[in-house]
């Protein structure tokens, strides 16, 4: 059986995701679609609006056959580690290739940009560091560094999605080019589009806007019916869908009851950001207004939200470094279809990493971080909180026929 | 001008308190009534249902002339340190005597019990420690230790109120017997009475029950009209009156996101209590059910609630010890009447401790703890939280004519 992989968050699963899965299947002629998916917290530094279990179900209903968890440390890391963890897991699970979405649909521009940069990698990295130390964000620094290399026009690295594709390519190369990179041209919606479009594809951002303004109906055209059903179901079980505002009282309490030194001990809180955080918090009465006060040119919104996540989850620098310094140590199966199960039983013996299907049987540091952060995630539930807390331990892999 | 003192919490101020103040004034013929009052957190290990400022106003309207804050460390400490801090502040403020409430109204039984115990103090303390290490609570251990001394019948030390009176006497003696202990016989209500009685006096416990079951009307006969007014006013400004349930999500988050070692670093978390706390929390969805699970014979409810307070406020053992090991370092004036002001200007020069009326001008460690815990207290407000957070710094002493 042949497998291909995708890297996803599905926050929530929409028609664009469906299209991407189907196209990836068609292009690769794969028997099994593997999705590496972030858990309860996402790369943009946000809580997922639905738990990992609900999003796994959507993935399986939408065309994935096997859903593997990207551990918290990688899922909430900057693009290079996020990409490395994801591609490493896909390769470890036996995928021959991976398919990412892009505006161009042309993988060669990604490959070429990568090759050009890597031919002058030391220079490039030095420039990136310099620009970042001057106060630029990572994408801005990457784009400017590329410009300085005086190479033929490549990818526009100032776009976060291109950076991600670029890092996927780099991760694949780092892993020995065994896994083949492919890209699928996106349909219609732009990543950050906040207004629902006219076709049947809209960005997840626009869909979340509609969902949180209590207007799921407005977004119905852009999501498969199973997504709508699961969204409504989750609302009825746990109260509101999760977003930062629900965790805001906890973040506020955490920031205001900790010393600057304690806050500085959390991952991604650097260069006095702890003082800015405390001051911004004292003047704000919502997460949105807090973030608006916190934002500077130096850091992207995403980067700041990630720092907030690590404060909320109390993730210390040294713990994060220890996990990020090695590739993921296990393959955690969040769910599978019949096909996924068949695939797993075929490749089981050739997989080097331990397969985790029962949480309590394993003792990996990454899993402990998963438990810790899931416990915090459960605090966002408006009701049935005790049930939400137990999900991480009690939920068996989601099965969909 | 002659002054006498009382030690109070006024949670909230009721007719019994009014009676006690008036009687104390009558008996001592004092020109100035000084009240040493706990701030936002109380000796029973609870948040005060009204802020220190509102309770100061009630104290002044009810007959006190000068309200001095008992710092957090002493206010939330066990009876010996609570009593010592209180009597020390009264003596420092120049009070000739202090008046505490008792069932008997006879100070000699307190004095005699103190003298008998202190004649065999080493033996008594050894017994108390032994009984506590066998799992008895402090009042139970004190009562049993006293029995073993084979002395004439004295105070019933198993009653928390008697223990407190006993400790006031002891503190006075420790401070050189300059300040004279007096007691006023309580009227009617028993301390822990949870049902409103027939007279015009009811316990604060019974009154809080009525207030929190949304039935202030039921308790109106037992409180002066200014208390009712202030209670209603506070509800309209900050949402609910404060109780543990409002802080429960924060305590829950704090316990579930911390390691046992971190929890053990907080004051009064001893002997593996941290593990019990985490387990009880995982199984409970309210503060009440959490406490019921946490309770053992070894610790009183009050002692456990105090440990929870220190976890909520993140008060580390070493910080608490450092403050408790010395007497309070300053006299913080929360409010005064014209008489109180006159008194202060008379005695100002003879007072050894620095007077704190403007928070920001001072740098005492005790005041920093006040700021830290008041910030946490403000998180319990349902709305106007930013205003509540600034109260500690911005509020000048309450003035009542």
Dump the DSSP string for A238-292. Answer: HSSPP-HHHHHHHHHHHHHTS-HHHHHTBTT--TTHHHHHHHHHHT-SSHHHHHH
Residues A287 and A305 in one domain: yes
CB B89, CB B328: distance < 8 Å: yes
Give residue A29's region: left, alpha or beta (phi > 0; psi -120 to 50): left
Q: Which domain holds residue A20?
A: 3-103+186-237+327-400
pLDDT tens figures, A73-82: 999 999 999 9
Residues B313 and B353 in one domain: no
Confidence of residue A198 (pLDDT cuts 50, 70, 90): low
CA gap A205, A9 in Å, rounded: 12
Cβ distance of A386 and B249 shorter than 8 Å? no
pLDDT at B207: 86
pLDDT at A216: 77
**Where is the domain boundary, B157, B183, B209?**
B183
B278-to-A255, A301, A369, B209 alpha-carbon distances in Å: 22, 34, 17, 28
Q: Chain A within 8 Å of B379 (Cβ-Cβ)?
A: yes
**Where is the domain boundary, B322, B341, B369?**
B322
Residues A98 and A191 in one domain: yes
A375's CB contacts (< 8 A; 6+ apart) are A389, A392, B256, B257
Q: What is the ipTM of this complex?
A: 0.90
Q: Are strands A355-356 and B398-400 parallel, antiparallel or unpaired?
A: unpaired
pLDDT tens figures, B109-134: 999 999 988 889 899 999 999 998 88
Does residue A386 carry a pLDDT above 70? Answer: yes
pLDDT at B192: 55
Query: Averaged over A180-207, what is the pLDDT?
Result: 77
Residues B92 and B205 in one domain: yes
Q: Which of residues 48-107 of B touch A (CB under 8 A)?
A: none
CATH of the domain at B81: 3.40.50
pLDDT at A126: 93
pLDDT at A153: 79
CA gap A321, A365 in Å, rounded: 12
* Longest alpha-carbon distance in chain B: 58
Nearest beta carbon to residue B256 from set A254, A283, A375: A375
Residues A17 and A74 in one domain: yes
Which residue in B has a C-alpha nearest to residue A258's C-alpha?
Answer: B314
pLDDT at B195: 64
Residues A336 and A394 in one domain: yes
* Dihedral (CA of A139, A144, A146, A151) sign: positive
Residues B252 and B353 in one domain: no
Q: Chain A within 8 Å of B314 (Cβ-Cβ)?
A: yes
Nearest beta carbon to residue B257 from set A283, A314, A385: A314
Confidence of residue A217 (pLDDT cuts 50, 70, 90): confident
Confidence of residue A290 (pLDDT cuts 50, 70, 90): very high
pLDDT at A192: 55
- Find, among A188, A211, A220, A164, the residue nearest to A14 by Cα: A220
Does residue B397 sit in helix, strand or coil? coil
CB B248, CB B277: distance < 8 Å: no
Lowest-pLDDT range, A63-67, A272-276, B41-45, B204-208? B204-208
Residues A174 and A203 in one domain: no
For residue B261, give how far its alpha carbon lies from the nearest alpha carbon of chain A (Å). Answer: 14
Confidence of residue A197 (pLDDT cuts 50, 70, 90): low
Nearest beta carbon to residue B375 from set A256, A375, A385: A256
Which of A119-133, A168-182, A292-306 shows the highest mean pLDDT? A168-182
> Tokens standing for B215?
């039935």
CB B65, CB B342: distance < 8 Å: no
- Find, among A83, A77, A36, A117, the residue nearest to A334 by Cα: A36
CA gap B216, B197 in Å, rounded: 15
Does residue A137 carry a pLDDT above 90? Answer: no
Residues A276 and A332 in one domain: no
Q: Chain A within 8 Å of B387 (Cβ-Cβ)?
A: no
Q: Chain A within 8 Å of B153 (Cβ-Cβ)?
A: no
**Where is the domain boundary, B322, B344, B361?**
B322
Query: Running DSSP on this structure, what letter comes out for residue B172?
Result: H
Question: SS3 sequence, A110-156?
Answer: HHHHHHHHHHCHHHHHHHHHHHHHCCCCHHHHHHHHHHHCCCCCCCC
For residue A256, give how far its alpha carbon lies from the nearest alpha carbon of chain B (Å). Answer: 7
Residue of higher predicted confidence among B171 and A135: B171
Note every long-range contact of A360-363, with CB atoms under 8 Å and residues 24 or more positions apart, other chains counting.
A360/A393, A362/A330
For residue B372, give how far its alpha carbon lies from the nearest alpha carbon of chain A (Å). Answer: 7
Residues B116 and B211 in one domain: no
A218's CB contacts (< 8 A; 6+ apart) are A196, A210
CA gap B234, B220 in Å, rounded: 16
Angle (CA) A281-A285-A289 rounded to 5° is 75
Confidence of residue A29 (pLDDT cuts 50, 70, 90): very high
Residue-level length of chain B: 401
Q: Chain A within 8 Å of B393 (Cβ-Cβ)?
A: no
Which stretches in chain B have pLDDT values below 50? none
Residues A32 and A87 in one domain: yes
Q: How many domains does chain A have?
A: 3
Cβ atoms within 10 Å, residue B108:
9
Residues B259 and B334 in one domain: no
Does residue A167 carry a pLDDT above 90? Answer: yes
pLDDT at A194: 60
Residues of A in Cβ contact (< 8 Å) with B282: 386, 389
């Amino acid at each position: 059986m042949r497998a291909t992989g995708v890297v996803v968050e599905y926050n929530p699963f929409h028609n664009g995701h469906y299209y991407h899965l189907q196209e990836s299947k068609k292009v690769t002629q794969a028997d099994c679609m593997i999705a590496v998916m972030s858990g309860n917290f996402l790369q943009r530094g946000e809580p997922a609006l639905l738990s990992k279990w609900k999003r796994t179900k959507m993935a399986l209903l939408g065309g994935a056959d096997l859903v593997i968890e990207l551990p918290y440390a990688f899922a909430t890391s900057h693009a290079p580690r996020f990409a490395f963890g994801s591609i490493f897991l896909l390769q470890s699970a036996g995928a021959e290739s991976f398919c990412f979405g892009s505006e161009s649909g042309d993988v060669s521009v990604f490959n070429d940009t990568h090759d050009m940069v890597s031919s002058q990698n030391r220079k490039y990295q030095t420039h990136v560091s310099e620009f970042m130390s001057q106060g630029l964000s990572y994408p801005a620094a990457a784009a400017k560094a590329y410009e300085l290399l005086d190479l033929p026009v490549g990818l526009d690295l100032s776009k976060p999605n291109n950076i991600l594709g670029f890092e996927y390519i780099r991760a694949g190369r780092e892993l020995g080019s065994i896994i083949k990179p492919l890209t699928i041209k996106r349909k219609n919606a732009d990543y950050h589009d906040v207004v629902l479009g006219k076709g049947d594809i809209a960005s997840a951002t626009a869909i979340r806007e509609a969902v949180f303004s209590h207007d799921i109906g407005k977004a119905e055209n852009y999501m498969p019916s199973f997504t709508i059903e699961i969204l409504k179901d989750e609302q009825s079980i746990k109260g509101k869908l999760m977003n930062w505002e629900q965790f805001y009282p906890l973040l506020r309490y955490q920031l205001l009851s900790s010393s600057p030194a304690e806050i500085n001990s959390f991952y991604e809180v650097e260069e006095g950001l702890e003082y800015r955080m405390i001051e911004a918090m004292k003047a704000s009465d919502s997460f949105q207004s807090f973030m608006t006060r916190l934002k500077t040119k130096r850091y992207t919104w995403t980067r700041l939200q990630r720092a907030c996540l690590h404060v909320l989850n109390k993730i210390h620098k040294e713990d994060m470094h220890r996990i990020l310094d090695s590739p993921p140590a296990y393959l955690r199966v969040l769910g599978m279809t019949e096909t996924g199960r068949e695939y797993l039983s075929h490749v089981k013996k050739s997989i080097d990493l331990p397969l985790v299907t029962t949480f309590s049987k394993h003792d990996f540091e990454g899993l402990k971080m998963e438990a810790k952060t899931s416990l915090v995630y459960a605090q966002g539930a408006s009701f049935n909180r005790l049930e939400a807390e137990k999900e991480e331990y009690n939920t068996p892999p989601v099965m969909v026929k």
